[in-house]
Amino acid sequence: MNKPLDPITLPAAADAAVSQWPDVDSLYRRFDALVKQPIRPLKREALNKVMGYFDERCQGSKRLAEEAKKFIPGGVQHNLAFNHPFPLAIAQAKGAHLTDVDGNRYIDFLQAGGPTLLGSNHPAIREQVNRILDDCGPVTGLLHEYEVKLAQLVCDVMPSVDMVRLLGSGTEAVMAAVRLARAYTGKKWVIKIGGAYHGWSDQLVYGMRLPGTGRLEAVGIPRGATANTQESPPNNLDALRRRLQINRLRGGTAAIMVEPFGPESGTRPVHPDFNRQLRKLCDEFDALLIFDEVVTGFRAGMGGAQGYFNVMPDITVLGKCLTGGYPMAGAIGGRKDVMQLLAGGIGTTARRAFVGGTLSANPLSCVAGYYALIEARKLNAPALAGRAGDRMRKGLEEIINRRGLPYVAYNLGSIVHLQTSGVLLLDTSNPLKLLRARNEAKSRKHMMEEMGAAYTAHGLITLAGSRIYTSLADTDDVIDDALERFDAVFKLV
């Protein structure tokens, strides 16, 4: 950890989607304790019963999964489709629940990976989407009033955003942000905070999930694609300053890119003043600050993490919650002078950063996004989802302590982390530690998969067994039901 930073005042609990920021130093001590001891997986006889659930109750999903393998690599189209022992096929999503093709019902804490802040298939959005489909269809390739309305609404609620360019996904938006930063500054180096996920573009598959891993996952990506991408450890401002100083001698840094809650949606949470210090460093070294708010955008409050921390980035990347679970959820926003370099149109002759997308800003996605944000603001969804996250975290902590388990539960509002294996918390700070971590990661990853399967067999859908997204649909009754199910799983350890 770096030296202590200046104190920072965060929003009052009553006004914030994140009621309190966790004690980061304490969390890292608990992470360290978790990964230094042997894993605590399910007992073998209990695991056999868990696997029996899938054999007995999920035959329809199993048949579809086997059929999928014939036509889809690995049988899975989406990385979030938890595949141990095989992916579930979902037939219905509504509010806080999912129902699979075999009729089994689950509490949904995946929430499509985070975008459905209002809960799945919210009727207010669905009604407006159906209206647009009847009147206009999903795409025209021309201007539509709702792309203007959505852009204006984003500018209204996100403090640093003067202009918005809508794109197809968070990955596309990250690509555009990097290109825009280089075009605006005339510099080439981009520093990301290590361990973060910024999509799967060639230049950002670097230092993913575990800080210090560089090109570990860059299979099929030429070295030249990541030649100007660098990483710096989270919470280590001294290391970041040194990198900025070296870059200054080599032409300068175009941008620092960060997930403002910390890598992997706060799996490695940052000190509450970290982002403010990044802003200062960017100003000092004449670099742009890019907030990847794909997860925190609207989930951390209508003003995102930038509103919560009161730190203004130059460029903001959005996705997920932007369209409330509907497709083509991506956008880049920022200062007007920076964003003007994205000016489009065939007749544009001024110097610009080129982006495109036939389906970007289509009427279906824009109307969904507009009404998703309108409903979220009207219903105070970020704060209510955050309170559900608080309730979940407190309940999990009580169960963990009562059962004497080494697991770590914490939340950043509606983003709840449940670390049981600690696979994403391994120390990779030098080559020797990285080698050890690669060997140990296999058993810890398998344990995480087994825990995820156990949650599923007990009627709980999570993100890979280690992350929980709460939503407006998660009432006290839903959370209490879920905690009973988690308790039943932890009893099997």
Range of the domain at 181: 123-378
Nearest to 183 by CA among 396, 332, 360, 18: 332
Residue 11 in any domain: the answer is: no
Confidence bin at 2 (pLDDT 50/70/90) = very low
In the β-sheet with 163-167, what is the strand arrangement from edge to edge? 163-167, 330-334, 315-319, 288-292, 253-258, 189-193, 229-232
203 token code pair = 């230049």
State the catalytic residues: 197, 292, 320
Confidence bin at 4 (pLDDT 50/70/90) = very low
**Adjacent-strand bridge partners of 411:** 416
Report the pLDDT value the prediction gives residue 83, as an integer from 0 to 100: 76
Report the pLDDT value the prediction gives residue 162, as an integer from 0 to 100: 98
Same domain, 341 and 460: no
Report the pLDDT value the prediction gives residue 1, as an integer from 0 to 100: 39
Contacts of 118 (CB under 8 A, 6+ apart): 124, 125, 324, 372, 375, 376, 379, 381, 471, 472, 473
Same domain, 160 and 294: yes
What percent of the chain clears pLDDT 90, i.e. is strictly above it? 83
Report the pLDDT value the prediction gives residue 210, as an integer from 0 to 100: 86
Domain end residue (candidates: 378, 393, 412): 378
Is the predicted pLDDT of residue 432 greater than 80, yes or no? no
Confidence bin at 3 (pLDDT 50/70/90) = very low
Is the predicted pLDDT of residue 93 greater than 80, yes or no? yes
Confidence bin at 436 (pLDDT 50/70/90) = confident
Report the pLDDT value the prediction gives residue 434, as an integer from 0 to 100: 74
What backbone torsions phi and psi does residue 378 show, to the nearest 5 degrees? -65, -40
Domain end residue (candidates: 378, 403, 435): 378
Same domain, 444 and 343: no
Domain end residue (candidates: 361, 378, 395): 378
Report the pLDDT value the prediction gives residue 104, as an integer from 0 to 100: 98
Residue 117 in any domain: the answer is: no
Same domain, 286 and 322: yes
Same domain, 467 and 341: no
Per-residue pLDDT, averaged over 2-7, amounts to 45
Residue 339 in any domain: the answer is: yes
Report the pLDDT value the prediction gives residue 248, as an integer from 0 to 100: 97
Is the predicted pLDDT of residue 388 greater than 70, yes or no? yes
Per-residue pLDDT, averaged over 360-375, amounts to 96
24-33, 204-213, 218-227, 383-392: range with lowest mean pLDDT: 204-213
Same domain, 279 and 404: no
Is the predicted pLDDT of residue 228 greater than 90, yes or no? yes
Tell me the whole-structure pTM to 2 decimals.
Answer: 0.94
Nearest to 308 by CA among 284, 274, 335: 274
Confidence bin at 429 (pLDDT 50/70/90) = confident
CA–CA separation, 200 and 57 (whole Å)? 35
Task: Name the more confident of 59 and 354.
Answer: 59
Task: Name the more confident of 8 and 202.
Answer: 202
What percent of the chain clears pLDDT 70, i.e. is strictly above it? 95
Residue 207: DSSP 8-state: S
Is the predicted pLDDT of residue 5 greater than 70, yes or no? no
Confidence bin at 21 (pLDDT 50/70/90) = very high
Same domain, 279 and 410: no
Structural contact between residues 405 and 490, judged by C-beta atoms closer than 8 angstroms: yes
Residue 4 in any domain: the answer is: no
Contacts of 27 (CB under 8 A, 6+ apart): 269, 408, 410
CATH number, domain of 291, equals: 3.40.640.10
Confidence bin at 464 (pLDDT 50/70/90) = confident
Residue 120: DSSP 8-state: B
Is the predicted pLDDT of residue 184 greater than 60, yes or no? yes
CA–CA separation, 7 and 139 (whole Å)? 49
1-5, 108-112, 118-122, 374-378: range with lowest mean pLDDT: 1-5
Per-residue pLDDT, averaged over 215-237, amounts to 95
Per-residue pLDDT, averaged over 54-67, amounts to 96
Confidence bin at 492 (pLDDT 50/70/90) = very high
Confidence bin at 19 (pLDDT 50/70/90) = very high
Task: List C-alpha distances in Å: 208 to 230, 268, 416.
Answer: 11, 12, 20
Same domain, 352 and 392: no
Task: Name the more confident of 284 and 346.
Answer: 284
CATH number, domain of 410, equals: 3.90.1150.10
Question: How does pLDDT run across 128-142, given as a tens digit for each residue?
Answer: 999 999 999 999 989
Same domain, 452 and 358: no
Question: How does pLDDT run across 273-318, given as a tens digit for each residue?
Answer: 999 999 999 999 999 999 999 999 999 999 999 999 999 999 999 9
Residue 205 in any domain: the answer is: yes
484-490 own/partner pairs: CB under 8 Å, 24+ apart: 485/107, 485/455, 485/458, 485/459, 485/460, 486/395, 486/396, 486/399, 486/455, 486/458, 486/460, 487/399, 488/458, 489/42, 489/451, 489/454, 489/455, 489/458, 489/460, 490/399, 490/400, 490/403, 490/405, 490/407
Structural contact between residues 311 and 276, judged by C-beta atoms closer than 8 angstroms: yes
* Number of structural domains found in the chain: 2
Same domain, 366 and 440: no
Residue 467 in any domain: the answer is: yes
98-107, 182-191, 205-214: range with lowest mean pLDDT: 205-214
Residue 1 in any domain: the answer is: no
Report the pLDDT value the prediction gives residue 9, as an integer from 0 to 100: 62
Q: Dump the DSSP string for 434-482.
A: HHHHHHHHHHHHHHHHHHHHHHHHTTEE-BTTTEEE--TT--HHHHHHH
Same domain, 205 and 97: no
Question: How does pLDDT run across 157-166, given as a tens digit for each residue?
Answer: 999 999 999 9
Residue 166 in any domain: the answer is: yes
Residue in the structure block whose two tokens are 């304490």? 26
Same domain, 370 and 385: no
